[in-house]
Structure 1
Amino acid sequence: MNSQWKSFLESQSAQISADGEVSFVCDDPFPPCALFDLSHLGLIRVSGEDARDFLQGQFTNDIREVTPQHSQLSAYCSPKGRMLANFRIFLHQDDYILQMPRDTHAVVLKRLPMFVLIAKAKVTDASDELVSIGLAGDCAEALLRKQVENVPAQPGEVTRQGELTLIRVPGEPARFQVCGTAEGISTLWQELAKEGQPANRDYWSLLDIRAGIPTVRQQTVEAFVPQMTNMQQIDGVSFTKGCYTGQEVVARMKYLGKLKRRMYLASVDSDTRPQPGDELFAPGSASGQGAGKVVNASPSPKGGFELLVVAEIKSFEENNLHLQGDSGPKLTPSTLPYGFEEA
């Protein structure tokens, strides 16, 4: 974590653990106008004149569509087409920035430079250099307009002001993230905090879950092909961009295969928090691989947990999924904010 930003957060009554976990004591853990520190997300910078062409051969999405005005979701796959990580990628001061959880950030930061070879591209850790914050709520757009001239209007859209890069993130209520220097972000935070209330990462994760945005974690590295987690439904996969690592498997799933599992939104009444990679069970399931896995889960304002799961289509449609065993807590299906493509 950037030392200047750490000191600033502590001045704002944040509690920071030895491993860098930031938390605030919140009267309301789900405030209507929520301000987030996003230090739990690592940042990787890819720079150099060959950066775009290099990344084009690595990721599932078409990097040519990442512009100063547009960000995108993408994934990094193994040769078997299984996701090692997924992330948002955007331009900041002409360099590509990849944003993802710290555990998969370590995986990508170690692996990606191995394939640079003779390309004029450089892969570096920007997590201690740049700072990211989030803002969510019906207040968010109006509150940002008091501080910046141009607020992104559509999900994925990017605007800039000075050294700040602003991105509108999918989901309801309105949600934004801002990336920049510790000094610039600290100044912005102080202004936003006049109306926004600091909230913790669980709430930001909940908003991702409700938006149907999966996050690969250390426990689920190489667990899913992109289509299992609906990456193609949220503009995270291009089927026309050409070759990239794992592309043959991903394309074969689209054109020749039949998807037997996909990602769903659900809730569960459980005293134990579901963890990424936890197995799902369905009485009578014929699959020898289990009925599915938890992708992400976060506490719900209604009690229990809301979660994204990759599950057998049949078992989900029969409302027959459980945690911890065939007779464990039963999942209650919810509706994603997007539909599924027709077969």
Structure 2
Amino acid sequence: MSATPSVSFNLPSLAWTSLSDWQAITVTGADSKSYLQGQVTCDVVQLDAEHSTLGAHCDAKGKMWSLFRLFHHNQGYALWQHKSGIETALQEIKKYSVFSKVDLELSSQVSVGVLGEQADSFIDSITDSQGDVRSVASGSVVKIDSQRWLLLIDEAELDNLKQQLQSAEEISADVWDYIDVISGIPRITQSQQNTHIPQTLNLQALDGISFEKGCYTGQETVARAKYRGTNKKVMRLLQGSAPENATFTFERQVGENWRGAGEAVAHYRNQQGEALALIVLNKDIEFDTQFRLAEDNSNTWSLIALPYDIEQ
């Protein structure tokens, strides 16, 4: 098993990118905390205003409609997630909101990523507070990891932000995808909705599931997967090469034959064709198993290690 990926990216010391494929569902109202607590896998009650958490919203059988980053935002909460499928995600999570004093809607705010080793210093220069989540005039600034921040702000604030970022390099949003994939951070897009339970996408290893909080939709399945070991699938990291416009649907080698292995949850491809993909596989799959893209028989892909322990 390879310990480190061969696909790399040299991140500028300070860069920014427009995250147009991402959007938030906002949750406001007197019952917003208690309503979310009964709907999502993470512990909303214990989440303070200075931190964010990954989490998921499931159906009654524990299959995920959405996977998001949750944080306090504009006197309520934001569930920031990939835009693909977000309309369905909103319909599902607001299904029982009529019984509570809560409003859930799609945010019209824009998402901007600030990246690089100087990202912390830049964020410090435009905010007055500390913490991994900070309020700004029109929205929130959220630390994703050691070199990434998310800004969820009004579109009217963009020009001012770009002025402040004059010394930063504008880069492609693909770099955000690269860091997500190499970090083993999953997402739910429309084609993956209502397909996976949270543990299948390693959410327990990313602190996106609370096993101590009270009941929420799909909890029985999620708890059974942990305590009875019923989950037989996990998300793994693959590397290889891919042609332009690849579908990132994989096959795996079984003896002399090839069998379908599924569609990537997330992927990244650089200009040289080097690529990475996150894919759901059986827990017991051998690490020397070879893979290939369904439409490309000329190159094989191999498993590499994730940066966290999934044997939980």
TM-score exceeds 0.5: yes
Q: Aligned to 1:183, which of 153, 156, 161?
A: 156
- Is 1:309 the counterpart of 2:284? The answer is no
Q: Per-residue deviation at 1:99?
A: 1.1
- Is 1:135 the counterpart of 2:114? The answer is yes
Q: Secondary structure at the match of 2:36?
A: helix
Aligned equivalents of 1:273 and 1:240: distance in 2?
A: 43
Aligned residues of 1:281 and 1:292 also touching (Cα < 8 A) = no
Q: Which runs of 5+ in 2 are unaligned?
A: 1-8
- Is 1:36 the counterpart of 2:17? The answer is yes
Aligned residues of 1:285 and 1:291 also touching (Cα < 8 A) = no
Which structure has more RCO (C-alpha within 8 Å, separation ≥ 6)?
A: 2
Partner residue, 2:144? 169
Correspondence 1:53-132 to 2 at 5 A: 53-126=34-107, 128=108, 130-132=109-111
Aligned residues of 2:244 and 2:273 also touching (Cα < 8 A) = no
Aligned equivalents of 1:301 and 1:327: distance in 2?
A: 20
1:74-111 deviation line (CA, Å, top 9, x unaligned): 11112221111101111112111111122221111222
Q: Per-residue deviation at 1:258?
A: 4.2
Aligned-partner residue type, residue 56 of structure 1: Q
Q: Aligned to 1:246, which of 198, 204, 218?
A: 218
Q: Secondary structure at the match of 1:103?
A: coil
Partner residue, 1:146? 125
Q: Secondary structure at the match of 1:271?
A: coil
Partner residue, 2:253? 282
Identity of aligned residues (%): 28
Q: Secondary structure at the match of 1:307?
A: strand
| More strand as a share of residues | 2
Partner residue, 1:9? none
The change in CA–CA distance for 1:110 and 1:101 in structure 2 (over 3 A counts) is same
The change in CA–CA distance for 1:218 and 1:275 in structure 2 (over 3 A counts) is farther
Once superposed, what is the RMSD of the aligned Cα atoms? 2.7
1:171-226 deviation line (CA, Å, top 9, x unaligned): x6x1111122233343122211x221112222111111112110111111122111
Give the TM-score of the pair, scaled to structure 1.
0.80
Aligned equivalents of 2:182 and 2:172: distance in 1?
A: 16
The change in CA–CA distance for 1:101 and 1:117 in structure 2 (over 3 A counts) is same
Aligned equivalents of 2:266 and 2:95: distance in 1?
A: 29
